[in-house]
Amino acid sequence: MTTTTTTLRSTSRLLAVADNGGGPDLDTHVQVHGDPPRLTGAAARDGVLGALSRSGVTGRGGAGFPTTRKVDLLARQRRRPVLLVNAMEGEPASAKDRVLLERAPHLVLDGAQVTGALIRADHIVLCIPAEHGGAAHAVQVALAERARRRIDALHVELAAPPARYAAGEESALADWAAGGSGLPMFRPDKGVPMAVRRSPVLVQNAETLAHVALVARHGDAWYRSVGAPDAPGTTLVTVTGAVQRPGVMEVELGTPVGHILAWAEVRRQPGGVLLGGYGGAWIEGSDLDVPFSPAALRERGAAVGAGVIGVLPAGACGLAETARLVAYLADESAGQCGPCTFGLPAVAEDLDRLAMGAADPALLERLRRRLEVIPGRGACGLPDGAVRLAHSALRVFAFDVANHARRRPCPGWAHRPTFPTPGVRRMSLWTTGTRR
């Protein structure tokens, strides 16, 4: 697992308490951030909602959806909604939500109370898997502090859904909260709210709610005073892989990827850089001037996603690493749609054979054909993310692709794994260490 320590950063907001040497207790939180915001009337709610809209805050769970659109949709429902706080963090390479909850739980809880007031929620459910015990303990202590001072208007329930890669997908989390098995739901119209036992539900990522708390306190102008014009504010980033100081840092959106890696002390030019997590995309190890912001990364076929920057060591094989990650995604799928049940295992096998230098003459054409037919056919974004990752590998590692396809694999195919893939069950050429 990635080391969960904070590193150097240009601007500290979310992690201001920890940066000043303070603990996660309520007194220190109030000393640094001020009293929790209270939305006691319609005028106060409208003021905060307007500030959120002008601030440009977007979801930090991966999709980057404008926060106020989801809030406004739920605020117009006749039944009182339920707010689900998503701290599942199923991405194995990410640790940002855990660090945030361990270091600044009150900021997340403040944001949950503000959002709950905006949508007139009935109650709040904060979802943390049991495996993230440090984060759950920090939240339990914080809730006890807040209860003693009676500062929260809405009851917060702590829940522990099963820890799976897809468990944090918002429809899967809503399904679990409603008593289901936690499977993603096919939602052709995202404008229709999900429901938990007939009550509409809003799912918001933990970091997103921390930003909401900051805007409610300081306003939109303050929030937009850092970051990029089209991507204001800061964000938490997990840097992992071939760096001297792996961990979680807070950076302004728009910070060049190279600057972030310099803070993490990259010693050599990477063999490649994975942006956004396992459902993200590769960029070349020399392409580090790109700003870490949605629009700039989109031009490279990448995304901010789960806030992961993974550094592939020089000399490692990007195709072998991609084959491992796609095999992991195939294993972690819910297995309820054709793209995941049949498509991803086939793509993983093709990538595996290509990485090992065991390709048949038709492999590349077959692989590209499979990658074209999968997107948009699943109930969730997992198969699309796997396809995006595979497409980027074929583009960024094109030189190696050509040689591997000719059964002349690079020496890096046997390099030790760079990124964690816990619990992979699928046997492959790469994982068994044998060549055909």
Fold agreement between 16-223 and 318-432: no
The sign of the CA dihedral 169, 170, 173, 175 is: negative
C-alpha 320: how far from chain center: 23
3-state secondary structure of 38: coil
CA atoms of 20 and 294, how far apart (whole Å)? 30
Q: What topology does CATH give the domain 16-223?
A: Rossmann fold (3.40.50)
Domain 318-432 has CATH 3.90.950.20: no
CA atoms of 326 and 339, how far apart (whole Å)? 13
From residue 287, give the alpha-carbon distance in Å to each of 20, 21, 269, 392.
34, 35, 10, 14
At 10, list the tokens: 């240009």
Which one-letter amino acid corresponds to residue 342?
F
pTM for the complete prediction? 0.91
Task: Classify strands 82-86 and 199-205 as parallel, antiparallel or unpaired.
Answer: parallel
CA atoms of 284 and 280, how far apart (whole Å)? 14
Helix and strand numbers (H, E) in the chain are 19, 12
For residue 39, the model assigns a pLDDT of 87
For residue 189, the model assigns a pLDDT of 60
Where does residue 276 rank: exposed (0-12), middle (13-18), buried (19+ CB within 10 A)?
buried
Task: Delimit the domains of the chain by residue range.
Answer: 16-223, 318-432
CA atoms of 88 and 165, how far apart (whole Å)? 9
Q: Which residues pair with 330 in a beta bridge?
A: none
Contact 21, 93 (CB under 8 A): no
CA atoms of 424 and 435, how far apart (whole Å)? 19
- H-helix segments, 280-343: 294-298, 318-332, 338
CA atoms of 186 and 334, how far apart (whole Å)? 12
At 403, list the tokens: 């040689």
Cα–Cα–Cα angle for 350, 421, 315, rounded to 5 degrees? 70
For 315, left (φ over 0), alpha (ψ -120 to 50), or beta? Answer: left
The DSSP secondary structure of 188-239, one letter per residue, reads S-TTSPEEETTEEEEEEEHHHHHHHHHHHHH-HHHHTTSEETTEESEEEEEE
3-state secondary structure of 135: helix
Helix orientation angle between 344-356 and 382-396, rounded to the nearest 10 degrees: 20
Contacts 24+ apart (CB under 8 A), 172-179: 172/334, 172/380, 173/84, 173/86, 173/88, 173/127, 173/203, 174/84, 174/201, 174/203, 177/82, 177/84, 177/125, 177/127, 177/201
Digit-by-digit pLDDT tens for the chain (436 residues) are: 444 444 444 579 999 988 878 899 999 999 999 998 888 888 888 999 999 999 999 878 766 677 888 888 888 888 899 999 999 998 999 999 999 999 999 999 999 999 999 999 999 999 999 899 999 999 999 999 999 999 999 999 999 998 888 888 888 898 888 888 888 877 656 666 777 888 899 999 999 999 999 999 999 999 999 999 889 999 999 999 999 999 999 999 999 999 999 999 998 899 999 999 999 999 999 999 999 999 999 998 898 988 999 999 999 999 999 999 999 999 988 777 777 888 899 999 999 999 999 999 999 999 999 999 998 877 788 889 999 999 999 999 999 999 999 999 998 887 889 998 886 554 344 343 433 2
At 81, list the tokens: 């909604």
CA atoms of 209 and 154, how far apart (whole Å)? 15
